[in-house]
Amino acid sequence: MSGSKALGGARRRRTRCRRCQACMRTECGECHFCKDMKKFGGPGRMKQSCLLRQCTAPVLPHTAVCFSCGEAGKEDTVDTEEEKFSLSLMECTICNEIIHPSCLKMGKAEGIINDEIPNCWECPKCHKEGKTSKDGGDGSGKRRMDNGEVGRWKLTDDPPPTKKKPPSLEDGGRQDGHKRKKEKELPQDSGPKKKKQKPNVSETAESNGPNSSTGGSQGSGGGSNSTQSPTSTASQDQRSHHREKLERFKRMCQLLERVRESSSSSSSSSESDSESDSDSPSGSDGRRGSEPSSPVPVAYSNSARERNRERDRERDRRLAELGFSASEDSEGSVKEEEEEDAVEEQVVGDKPRRRGEGPPRGRKGLTTDGNDEESGERSRKSTPLPPPSPLSSTQPPPSSGHGPSPGSEGFSGKRSNGSETRNGRTRAGVRDRETQEKENANNSGGSVANHRHGTGKGNKGNKIRNNKQTGSQPTSRNSSNSSASTATTTSNGGGGGLLGPGSNSSGGMSALAASPRSQPSRMAPRSQMMKRSPPAVPSPPRPVQMERHLVRPPPACPEPHCLPLDSGSSHVMPRDVWLRVFQHLSQRELCVCMRVCRTWSRWCCDKRLWTQIDLSRQRSITPPMLSGIIRRQPVSLNLSYTNISKKQLMWLINRLQGLLELNVSGCPWSSVSALCQAACPCLRLLDLSRVEDMKDSHLRELLAPPTDTRTAHGESRGGRFQNVTELRLAGLDLTDVTSRLLVRYLPHLTKLDLSQCGNITDQTIHTLTSPMSPLKDSLAHLNLAGKDYTVDSLAPNTPR
């Protein structure tokens, strides 16, 4: 049973935070999982939560307790972030142990905090041993997941498979025996419980496992000897488990995408933030504090006691090994940052790092996310996405956006959340800053990874540094990474989480912001990261698939209001003034600025500076670019003449619920068709000019409401883009059929561009201006250039 526990404690499954937007949302009733629910008329076999309700910051259950002292998280009892961090329960992604940083003998500073998930880190012990997620130390050579992903966050890992139990249940209910049952369970039918072959193994494992494993060698990884074989089996298993988790996430993400349509109501993006709830866990804290020592987890039922004993023993051993002690903290240890920072900072002059407390703690930061993700993606797989490409292309430097609050509609809401997120993050976030920063950095770097973590392989050594760097100054990190220190990291993800694969990544960044050209490198990614706060995203471990990653928009975290100088004083120009200056810079230039110093990096991520993102004519749209876009949550996105794939576009659109303007002109219909499965409730401007192979039928698919009525949730009836007021269809091979579609599905159209549409005739004009047309009054601008029309047709209502 508890096999899993081998590690630290039992592995605890995480539960929803209940605070993030996703958690607060209602079931869509349309996704696969909802449809499976009995409440929606399904069989109830899948037992999965609605795709739109996937918690972005799953927390440790209230029953989770410290492996060392057996008590729950107590962060609520203290005020400072540091203390909160020390008293909160942290779950190691590698060994799965859940412990109070303050109960570690080793310096807690050595741990690498994973911002993406609350209360998640790579414990000092594992970190020290080099176990990274990936590499693991485990020695494993084992399989681990392959990717290394492992590292990332896992929610829980252990497979508890153990339990066997067949009790059984429900089955009866199940009617049917689904296949599985049949097979395994056959014997009993009713009972079905499936599986569990493991019993044998597992049992042994469990029973023994723990012992053996734990005791034996590993101790889960973690602890015990990691050195030794840390995980040998256990670790491996765990990893695999991790992997699975990750995969799940991916799936979810994918599903989300698919589902999205329906979801119109809420958007994914928004979620982002909120989650952090960092505390959530904390919330949990409250939980029991009881259990003194017995670490044993609740869960185990059966042999629990015995196990417990064993566990205790193991625990002790492990602790001993680890050097845990009941209370020591060692915060002190931090040190490191310096190096890293040094580089970057020097460059700029920023110095900020310490803001927090002396030792930087925070590592994390989410900062990286975007990058991380990206990198992660790449590194890991690339499958889905197109290969990273060099951004180089020509691209116009976009002008910077400025719109003040633009994003508003969509975003605002979301963003606001973002802030929450922070809060949530608090843990992370807060800590971050202080303590965590360092850690974060790691994370971030790594974080980016969580997923990355694993990836981070390279990191290990660097981790801290990187992390810190990243964490602390996201942006800078990039630079640093790329440039300086980094090299090392860079290679893998190390450094990068950010960039990930070196070249690409850099490219990515640049792409986003600047586009390829010159700056090749660095910047971009991180910039977004800056935000640091957003913790949790469930990021999919996997690198590649974009889908999985949930890229959260940068939280609006509190930013420094002044620019600290080396002298210790602050620059005379306050943030507001600097922002005014930044508003006059192009995206590319902003990217450059972000590399200057941590403070600038953060300032340059101000949403107001990125309301418009122009990636037109970029040869390739890379994962980093995509996540960079998501993080910035632009109000206006120009993807014209890019080779963005359908999958990428779908991924993007589903995460930009606040997008007001979208330009996909010149893109192939095969990609643009992604919009047929998306929900863009806020979209006001859609530019479909010169979309390759676009026909009337395609436009119908695009504008018509989702077939699913259900999905429609109401709005849809008006059509997927019913709120679009400006539509550009220049240069398309459309016929008069189109006009009927417009009249029917775009009732609020005020500007229409039909220039260079050779097959449009007077009929279109008549349709648009007929008494029955809602457009006869609303349409204020109509461009029919490049076409011959009769004066008469234009005469009537249509304003021209």
Partner DNA sequence: ACAAACGTTCGT
Partner DNA sequence: ACGAACGTTTGT
Query: Which residues from 297-326 bind DNA, rule CB under 7 A?
Result: 297-301
By CB under 7 A, what part of segment 370-389 binds DNA? 381, 383-384
Distance (Å, whole) CA 458 – CA 481: 13
Taking the complex as a whole, the smallest distance from the CB of residue 489 to DNA amounts, in Å, to 24
Residues in the chain, overall count: 800
Neighbours of 41 (CB within 10 A): 11
Q: Does 98 bind DNA (CB under 7 A)?
A: no
Q: Which is nearer to DNA, 359 or 500 (CB)?
A: 500
Q: Which is nearer to DNA, 49 or 459 (CB)?
A: 49
With CB under 7 A as the contact rule, the residue among 100, 127, 142, 164 that binds DNA is: 164
In degrees, to the nearest 5, what angle opens at C-alpha 525 toward C-alphas 521 and 531? 145
With CB under 7 A as the contact rule, the residue among 77, 197, 290, 790 that binds DNA is: 197
Look at phi and psi of residue 532 and say left if phi exceeds 0, alpha if psi is from -120 to 50, else beta. left
Q: Does 76 bind DNA (CB under 7 A)?
A: no
Distance (Å, whole) CA 355 – CA 160: 42
Encoded one letter per residue, x for contact with DNA by CB under 7 A and - for no contact, window 39-68 reads x---x-xxxxxx--xxx--x--xxx-----
By CB under 7 A, what part of segment 274-293 binds DNA? 284
Q: Does 5 bind DNA (CB under 7 A)?
A: no
Of 245-253, 439-447, 587-595, 663-671, the segment contacting DNA by CB under 7 A is 245-253
Q: Does 13 bind DNA (CB under 7 A)?
A: yes
Taking the complex as a whole, the smallest distance from the CB of residue 729 to DNA amounts, in Å, to 33
Q: Which is nearer to DNA, 11 or 353 (CB)?
A: 11
Taking the complex as a whole, the smallest distance from the CB of residue 493 to DNA amounts, in Å, to 18
Residue 300 structure tokens:
């185990």
Q: Does 588 bind DNA (CB under 7 A)?
A: no
With CB under 7 A as the contact rule, the residue among 125, 152, 193, 452 that binds DNA is: 193
Q: Does 134 bind DNA (CB under 7 A)?
A: no
By CB under 7 A, what part of segment 526-585 binds DNA? 545
By DSSP bridging, strand 98-99 and strand 90-92 are: antiparallel
3-class SS string, 266-325: CCHHHHHHHCCCCHHHHHHHCCCCCCCCCCCCCCCCCCHHHHHHHHHHHHHHHHHHHCCC
Neighbours of 453 (CB within 10 A): 41
Encoded one letter per residue, x for contact with DNA by CB under 7 A and - for no contact, window 396-435 reads ----------------------------------------
Q: Which is nearer to DNA, 84 or 239 (CB)?
A: 239
Of 667, 344, 388, 360, give the one whose Cα is nearest residue 503.
Answer: 388
Encoded one letter per residue, x for contact with DNA by CB under 7 A and - for no contact, window 428-467 reads ----------------------------------------
Of 220-228, 244-252, 438-446, 494-502, the segment contacting DNA by CB under 7 A is 244-252
**SS percent in the chain: helix, strand, coil, step 5:** 45, 5, 50
Of 159-167, 337-345, 440-448, 669-677, the segment contacting DNA by CB under 7 A is 159-167
Q: Are 113 and 367 in contact (CB under 8 A)?
A: no
Look at phi and psi of residue 316 and say left if phi exceeds 0, alpha if psi is from -120 to 50, else beta. alpha
DSSP category for residue 695:
-
Taking the complex as a whole, the smallest distance from the CB of residue 221 to DNA amounts, in Å, to 14
Q: Are 533 and 430 in contact (CB under 8 A)?
A: no
Taking the complex as a whole, the smallest distance from the CB of residue 70 to DNA amounts, in Å, to 15
How many chain residues interact with DNA (CB under 7 A)? Answer: 82
H or E stretch at 698 = helix 696-703
Q: Which is nearer to DNA, 89 or 613 (CB)?
A: 89
Distance (Å, whole) CA 432 – CA 439: 7
Residue 494 structure tokens:
């190390």
With CB under 7 A as the contact rule, the residue among 139, 160, 215, 508 that binds DNA is: 160
